[in-house]
Amino acid sequence: MNGKQRMIRLTKELLNPIGFAGLVWKNLVCLRWRRYLRSRGVVTRGDVIIKGKPVILRMTGNIYIGNNVTLRSDDRGYHASVYAPTRLMTDTREDALIEIGDDTRINGASIHATEKIIIGRGCLIAANVTIVDSDGHGIYPSERSLSNPVSKPVVIEDNVWIGMNSIILKGVRIGRNSVIGAGSVVTKSIPPDCVAAGNPAMVVKVLDSESEKAIQQATRPAKGFRPIIS
């Protein structure tokens, strides 16, 4: 929604008593969530849109959330089932970090940082995604009881879209604008401007600007076309 559309909506809400009451309610709810995030030691930079109560487990370390970030934890009004609330967890390392860039939407994802998980601006993280920068336990029997013996930072660059039920594992960097297909397991870094999918996720398509132009051309309505519902 752009600035003009936002102003029109705000004016309509202010002129209508039910809309006005709704606006007051929304702001009270927003204040309550902001206080909740602050009480958990989360640092926010601007508005955070919270839909349903997230789980915040900040053992130590830091969680930074940018402006206009959405944290969704239930599926009311959403098109897919969200199996669990959005969970942001920083582990026991003092420098453990989760950073979420402006305008990113997180819809019921679990993000557990032992070391560092950075999510850029304008990303879409669909329902039930898991992002971890550690395996949780060592692979050798002697290390099995150790918690998070190995960790490698995860970086999701700007404008990335991660499809439903995907898993992003330690050490992965997903390049700018790329898309991860639903249900993928991403074990290795993915370059920018591509679609990657599967288990393990592989590049299945390159998002070049020529193909984008061709698709826009093909989907543009013909002259004189009027939709039945406008």
Nearer to ligand COA, 148 or 166 (CB): 166
Nearer to ligand COA, 81 or 147 (CB): 81
**Residue ranges binding ligand COA (CB under 6 A):** 80, 124, 126, 163-164, 179, 181-184, 195, 197-198, 204-205
> What does DSSP say about strands 62-65 and 42-44: parallel, antiparallel, or unpaired?
parallel
Minimum CB separation of residue 8 from ligand COA in Å reads: 26
Measured from each CB, the residue nearest to ligand COA is 181
Minimum CB separation of residue 130 from ligand COA in Å reads: 14
Torsion of CA 119, 125, 127, 130, to 10 degrees: -30
Minimum CB separation of residue 106 from ligand COA in Å reads: 11
Minimum CB separation of residue 166 from ligand COA in Å reads: 8
Nearer to ligand COA, 84 or 195 (CB): 195
Nearer to ligand COA, 122 or 149 (CB): 122
Nearer to ligand COA, 54 or 61 (CB): 54
Minimum CB separation of residue 43 from ligand COA in Å reads: 27
Structure tokens at 139: 């692979």
